[in-house]
Amino acid sequence: MKSRLKTQFRQVALIGKYQTSYSASAVAAARQALDDIAHFLMGQGCEVVIEAETAANLGLSSYLAMEIEDIGRHCDLCLVVGGDGTMLGIGRRLAQYKVPLIGINRGRLGFITDIPLEQYAATLGPMLAGEFVVDDRSLMQAEVIRDGRSVFSALALNDVVVNRGATSGMVELRVEVDGHFVANQRADGLIIATPTGSTAYALSAGGPLLHPSTPGWVLVPIAPHTLSNRPLVLSHASEISIEIVSGRDASANFDMQSLATLMHGDRIVVRRSEQHVRFLHPQGWTYFDTLRQKLHWNEGVA
């Protein structure tokens, strides 16, 4: 849907990608990119805040710095300059504060960081004036239950993945949906993906693409022992439980960033979170444009 701001984006936060493996030239390029964007925002009448870790790592000391939690409490908008992985982490952390996010991609076009760096000025100007498309994405709340108590919990914007150990054979997983037994699956693992995550690991494992507005999840086995074990689309109102029946060194990860080591009898329970992440896209954006560009559809067509 299309939306116009009721109030101006007064205070805007900038968050940049940084890795310790960056060379001096890469650090300088990242610093220059954020500095240029900050000056552009100030020229549009915005007060600019730099996320504290970004400011420290890139040497951006001339701006007001804030921790993520303070950005959530005080800022009207957050610009994430990096890739989809950076956006996933920031989206989870800012979801509770309902701060809208815009993604500026410094590398290849992303699914959710969809504004190329070289086009940021031409694209952001109209968006700051209220010309944008609102794109709300659902989150999953997952926890690991051991002996009747929760020992680990995390939010996931993309997916929850249960995997076999790196050097072990298949795992056997008991799958239940809303308390109803579905199947005992022997496979390398199992993916529960949101529509956002349907273009990630789930896609490479043979799962379907889900439009972001679809109120559902997809359950995708990884290299199942029985070929009739196929991807299954479920309502996002469902509660999914995966119990570790057998297999060594199984683990669960959440958006490939949080990790929990599992034992036999552990259950991974996944529910819909009450929180969501709000992305803003340029006016005219559609999900299908992104799919065509990212998945290289229609290449070679005149």
What's the chain's Rg over C-alpha atoms? 21
84 carries an active-site annotation: yes
Choosing from 35, 70, 76, 84, the catalytic residue is 84
Under a CB-based contact definition with an 8 Å cutoff, are residues 141 and 272 in contact?
Answer: yes
Confirm if 140 and 194 have CB atoms less than 8 A apart.
yes
Q: Is the dihedral of CA 105, 110, 112, 114 positive or negative?
A: positive
Residue 137: name the closest of 105, 106, 159 by CA: 159
Quote the strand ranges of the chain, DSSP E.
Answer: 2-3, 11-16, 47-51, 64-66, 77-82, 101-105, 115-116, 132-146, 149-156, 159-163, 171-177, 180-187, 189-193, 216-222, 232-235, 240-246, 251-254, 258-261, 267-282
Cα(122)–Cα(161) distance, integer angstroms:
39
> Who contacts 236 (Cβ-Cβ below 8 Å, separation ≥6)?
138, 194, 215, 216, 217, 272
**Per-position b or e across 155-167, b if 16+ CB within 10 A of its CB:** bbbbbbbbbbeee
Between CA 135 and CA 108, with CA 212 as vertex, the angle to 5 degrees is 75
Is 153:161 a contact under the CB 8 Å cutoff? no
> What residues contact 259, with CB distance under 8 A and at least 6 apart?
251, 252, 253
Query: Known catalytic residues?
Result: 84
